[in-house]
Chains A and B, each alone.
Chain A
Amino acid sequence: MQETVIEAGRSEKHYWADIIRFRELLWILAVRDITVRYKQTMIGVAWAVVRPIMTVLVFVFAFHKVAKIEDTSGVDFKIIVFTGVIFWNFFASAFQQVSNSITGNANLVSKVYFPRLLMPLSSVAVPLLDFFVGFIVLVPFLIYSGISVDYHLLFVPVFLFFAFMAALSLGIIFASLNVQYRDFQQIVPLIVQYGFFICPVAYSTSSIKELSWYPFYTWLNPLAGIIEGFRWCLIPNYPYFTWDSFLPTIIFVCLTTIIAIIFFRKRENSFVDYI
């Protein structure tokens, strides 16, 4: 028979096993978020297609036609923007959803026990689904621009994984802080808003390569490496990505993941007292 010991400060020995045991709940919470998302809409899931296309058109207009930003490698600017946008959207919405995941499920936190980590984990489902839809929509654009992908395509999951971990770990840190101080709820949209301009989403690094501080750029902005890496997977001979410039991203993601887990485990048992 299963025996549970409840004690102050006792780090539950079976924590990670519990997460496996509760995997059905993880799945159901994810399905809930996805189902709820397009309830009571007329065109339903088609929004997942419409939104990225509209975004790309507006950005191409603003950055390319109005602000005259060019890509020197001769790649169709639409592709630069599209790849940037679907990746950035994934990161940004995952980060936002995760950081609101605990407070958004307050009714669960105060009424039932389950490993709290399920809440941030399950909230990545919607952004992930949107990413896949966006990826499929990207295909006709690639064909239209005459780009034929090669074996680099196999690396997409690598970059997706890093984006996932970056969003999750940063989101978890913010989610735990958010429980006690709702200030972080105000900060997250700002980070996302500024991040869009700091990261090479609607431009590529070619636009800033000549600047004297460019070498520091990838170090200061670990997300840049992920986005450029994603373009490198899809566009043959894409010149603005090297594995060297990806190193800061790897270090950053590992660090934030460790911090996030320690931070979260330390605080999760007292969430209910502050929420």
Chain B
Amino acid sequence: MTVIEAQNVSKRYIIDHKKGNAKSDTFREVITDTFRNMFTKGEEDEVEHEDFWALKDVSFKIEQGDRVGVVGSNGAGKSTLLKVLSRITEPTQGKITIKGRVASLLEVGTGFHPELSGRENIFLNGAILGMKRDEIKKHFDAIVDFAGVEKFLDTPVKRYSSGMYVRLGFAISAHLEPEIMIVDEVLAVGDADFQRKCLGKMKDASTSGRTILFVSHNLTAVQGLCNKAMYMQKGQLIQMGETNLIMSNYLSQIQKTDLQVTYTDQNEAPGNDRVRLKSVKLVPNYLDNQNHLDVRTSFKIQIEFWNYLDQANLNISLHVNSLTGECIFNIGTPSIKFEKGIISAECEIPSDFLNDGSYSLSFMIVKDTASVVYNFEEALIFEIEDYREGTVWYGKWPGYVRPKIEFPIMQLEYENAI
């Protein structure tokens, strides 16, 4: 049965651009704006209106029991779509038909009042999310237990730690029993242990036949939780279908441009009168059906540069850095005497080595193993996606490296040994 059907849904926002001196005196601006707005048809030519389509012709159908992950980069229209579906804002065009009771969790702890106690806020938040008083009473103990705030039930939530606040918020929403659940980025908060609890709860909800619509930047969570996915870009629905397919298309889309930097004109290439960069390439050895870099993929790093030095002993020192700038490892080529011309170097990074995350490559060209000829900083930035199987934990895998090291475990002795 189709529970959500969207037909050509569009949402337009109008953005005002002010002409002329943009940094004009704010007080004056306020006054003139007020008057212009109160008596429209004033000097409207001073303001330029631009249409911005946050959603454009989005159509889809969601069946009962589907768990649909919505992915897309920032500004793709994911949140707008959820807002339209939860009736917070109206679409400009199009029509959506929803069958069943909807609960939207666009935030944890919506409407919590800082002055009220945890107990009072459970009832307040529950009612805001559409629960009846009896339902809240029925689940009260479970909520308190799930959030782990028994001791602080009568403390105003303004005195809660942020972790407690979030846990209580999620605990309430987790005990909603709607037919359709709309969830936005709830998992971006809380520690790993709590995230695990949340995802477990959502999985429970879906096995009981509930339909879930889930927006998250945690792609691992989407992969683990959802059976279908929607890929959005610039307000449009690019593709909808089975999760793994959509995911790999989406990931290859966002990775595509980043994997190489090439300069054809020597005058524009970074460097100096002794060396100039020709290209840095990252060449993945994809497994079957793979079209993006993840932790399983081995890849080559190829560097080419123009050398204007004659008879110089040169080597390359390559740094792979995390995005926060810490060096993860540093490797160097042997130092060899070169003629003028194009020099190339290549190394292979094995599979199951770097953890998922963003990395940057920096390298220097060194003369006589001692003096730096040129330092190419952040020559290439790339991302490695997560991949895991055989686990129901979707939190961020810690560490910079993720080696696949045999780690057997077994039962040594039985009960009679205790």
Contact = CB atoms under 8 A, between A and B. Distances in A.
Interface of A: 1-9, 24-25, 28-29, 32, 35-36, 39-40, 105, 107-114, 180-181, 183, 269-270, 272-273
A44 B123 CA distance: 22
B113 A113 contact: no
B123 A6 contact: no
Contacts of B124: 28-29, 32
B116 A36 contact: yes
B98 A6 contact: yes
17 contacts: A3-B99, A4-B102, A5-B95, A7-B91, A8-B90, A8-B93, A28-B123, A28-B128, A29-B124, A32-B116, A36-B115, A39-B115, A39-B116, A110-B88, A111-B110, A183-B34, A272-B89
Contacts of B206: none
A175 to B, nearest CB: 17
Interface of B: 13, 34, 37, 83-102, 104, 106-107, 110-111, 113, 115-116, 120, 123-124, 127-130, 132-133, 156, 179
A28 B128 CA distance: 9
B133 to A, nearest CB: 6
Contacts of B87: 4, 6, 113
A200 to B, nearest CB: 32
A189 to B, nearest CB: 17
Given A113-B88, A270-B89, A5 B128 contact: no
Contacts of B179: 1
Contacts, number: 104
A113 B97 contact: no
Contacts of B113: 32, 36
A6 B90 contact: yes
Contacts of A32: 113, 116, 120, 124
A32 B294 CA distance: 50
Contacts of A2: 99-101
Contacts of B106: 111-112
Contacts of B92: 8
Given A3-B98, A3-B99, A28 B13 contact: no
A199 B84 CA distance: 46
Contacts of A36: 113, 115-116
A24 B127 contact: yes
Contacts of B93: 8
Contact of A273 (B89, B130, B133): B89
B97 A272 contact: no
Given A112-B128, A181-B34, A4 B91 contact: no
A87 B110 CA distance: 35
Contacts of A114: 128, 130
**Most interface-central of A112, A181, A269, A272 (chain B CB within 10 A):** A112
A1 B91 CA distance: 23
Contact of A35 (B85, B86, B120, B130): B120
A269 B128 contact: no
What 8 A-B pairs are tightest by C-beta distance, nearest first?
A113-B87, A6-B96, A28-B127, A269-B90, A39-B115, A111-B110, A4-B98, A25-B127
Given A5-B97, A270-B90, 13 more contacts: A1-B99, A4-B102, A5-B96, A6-B85, A7-B94, A8-B90, A8-B92, A8-B93, A108-B111, A108-B128, A113-B88, A272-B83, A272-B88
B110 A8 contact: no
A50 to B, nearest CB: 21
Contacts of A1: 99-100, 179
